[in-house]
Structure 1
């Protein structure tokens, strides 16, 4: 896996095709809604971004998680409509 400045793990979500997809970056201390490599967001925000990006998607969506501990009040659920 390519190194993205910090140690990131990769989660591929809803793999659909080989075309270029969207990348989101999350950090345990992330903030804002950029979800970029230089300005990672929280895991909760990245989940919201993925949910908003799945409608009509034609390529993979990847969430890169910076090393650390992530705490969620509820499990991540993949709901396809």
Structure 2
């Protein structure tokens, strides 16, 4: 397994966590990972997923705080529409 799994999930940036999660998904989909290792990387994947969700919630809260109108007045807490 790659050495990056030694890094504490709580210290990873969103981009790094999502990159590692994608790598884990690819490895599991290939089906060439021994059972014990599959379970271990699946557990790491779950931790990475939770980290990404946490970081997304934090980012959304920050965006909610800075929602203002043209005069600089807060207009409320509208979720950011990224589409």
Q: Please give the TM-score of this superposition, normalised by the length of structure 1.
A: 0.32
Write 1 or 2 for the structure with the bigger share of strand: 1
* Structure (1 or 2) with the larger CA radius of gyration: 2
Write 1 or 2 for the structure with the bigger share of helix: 2
Q: Please give the TM-score of this superposition, normalised by the length of structure 2.
A: 0.31
